[in-house]
């Protein structure tokens, strides 16, 4: 991929993040309620509420508040939590590992299961494998993650106590213990994405099989794994990578529900509590982090296009 294309993509990503910061700040201001009243308590006087509002800078014009906040963001300072007075950065850094690990493992589950099943179904159109994958993919897309999470807990943690039902431990506590706490939430989160990937992969592989270059390769004697790897998978990859990028963003949003079912203290519970407490700096920090992750995913997808298809490297 050409440096010009990379610079253009990076510039577009930075512009998107700046626009997200503006929208985030303005939308948070529209949340009903006054955080100064929440912090002061129910029995606080008007003078106490006014003092807290002044200390927080909430009495200043909106543009000045945004400028002060964005200047801090550029220096790595997202402010302090209104409820705990802790740094927003340190609070998010404490909650992020569990969420990022579960999301990453769910993405791995989705890719391994979804792509493998989709390729198998696409290569055997009309067979029982194809019908089974199509049926399971439809069911997987229809099943909500929270319902699947409760089913998995019932089967593998309550009825058969093989895995823990709740909580998350750091990998430093031991790989086996860490993995046992990750398997169920990652599976519950990733299976719907696996179903979506399987359906799209199946369609892409089936379409590529009808292309003239595949028929020509077969006429020349190409078959088996070499034909699949050289002609089918590579030419099917771009639509699948596009869907994967979109689903990765959905996984990061859907992890909130899964964390609630499994009692995991991650970014999901942090976001919910921040909204209930009208904790403006924490909400802004969470939304900005989410935007950064989604923009990075899209950037990686764009760069992957150039690796998969040389024709777009100089676009």
Q: What is the pLDDT of residues 15-69, one digit of tens each?
A: 888 888 888 777 766 766 666 666 666 677 777 777 777 766 777 777 887 888 8
Looking at the domain assignment, is residue 86 inside a domain?
no
CA–CA dist 193, 191 (Å, integer): 5
Looking at the domain assignment, is residue 24 inside a domain?
yes
3-state class (DSSP) for residue 80: strand
The DSSP output letter for 60 is: S
Cβ(100)–Cβ(248) under 8 Å? no
Looking at the domain assignment, is residue 85 inside a domain?
no
Q: Residues 47, 164: one domain?
A: no
- The residues, ordered by sequence, that sit 6+ positions from 140 with a Cβ below 8 Å of its Cβ are 191, 192, 194, 195, 196, 198
* Number of separate domains in the chain: 2
Q: Residues 53, 147: one domain?
A: no
Domain that holds residue 42: 3-74
Alpha carbon distance, N-terminus to C-terminus of the chain: 9
Residue at which a domain ends, from 74, 89, 114: 74
Q: Residues 103, 184: one domain?
A: yes
The DSSP output letter for 172 is: G
- The residues, ordered by sequence, that sit 6+ positions from 7 with a Cβ below 8 Å of its Cβ are none
Print pLDDT tens along the chain (315 aa): 566 767 777 788 888 888 888 887 777 667 666 666 666 666 777 777 777 777 667 777 778 878 888 888 888 888 888 777 788 888 888 888 888 899 989 999 999 998 889 888 888 888 888 899 889 888 888 888 888 888 888 888 888 888 888 888 888 888 888 888 888 999 988 888 899 889 888 888 888 877 777 777 666 666 666 667 666 777 777 788 888 888 888 888 788 888 888 888 888 888 888 887 778 788 888 888 888 888 888 888 777 776 666 655 555
């Amino acid at each position: 991929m050409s440096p010009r294309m990379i610079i253009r993509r990076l510039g577009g990503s930075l512009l998107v993040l700046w626009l997200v910061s503006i929208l985030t700040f303005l939308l948070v201001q529209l949340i009903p309620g006054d955080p100064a009243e929440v912090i002061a308590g129910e029995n606080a006087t008007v003078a106490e509420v006014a003092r807290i509002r002044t200390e927080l800078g909430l009495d200043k014009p909106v543009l000045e508040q945004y400028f002060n906040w964005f200047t801090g963001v550029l220096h790595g300072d997202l402010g302090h939590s209104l409820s705990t007075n802790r740094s927003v950065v340190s609070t998010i850094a404490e909650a992020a590992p569990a969420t990022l690990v579960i999301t990453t493992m769910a993405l791995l589950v989705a890719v391994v299961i979804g792509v493998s099943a989709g390729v198998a179904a696409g290569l055997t159109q009309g067979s029982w494998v194809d019908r089974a994958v199509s049926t399971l993919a439809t069911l997987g897309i229809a099943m909500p993650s929270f319902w699947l999470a409760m089913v998995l807990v019932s089967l593998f943690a309550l009825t058969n106590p093989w895995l823990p039902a709740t909580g998350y431990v750091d990998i430093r506590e031991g790989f086996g213990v860490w993995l046992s706490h990750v398997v169920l939430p990652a599976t519950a989160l990733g299976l719907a994405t696996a179903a979506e990937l399987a359906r799209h992969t199946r369609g892409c592989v089936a379409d590529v099989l009808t292309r003239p270059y595949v028929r020509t390769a077969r006429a020349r004697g190409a078959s088996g794994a070499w034909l699949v790897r050289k002609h089918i998978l590579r030419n099917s990859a771009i639509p699948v990578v596009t869907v994967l990028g979109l689903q990765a963003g959905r996984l990061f949003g859907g992890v909130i529900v899964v964390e609630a079912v499994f009692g995991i203290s991650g970014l999901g519970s942090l976001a919910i509590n921040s909204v209930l407490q009208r904790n403006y700096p924490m909400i802004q920090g969470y939304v900005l982090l989410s935007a950064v992750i989604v923009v990075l995913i899209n950037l990686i997808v764009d760069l992957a296009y150039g690796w998969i298809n040389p024709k777009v490297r100089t676009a």
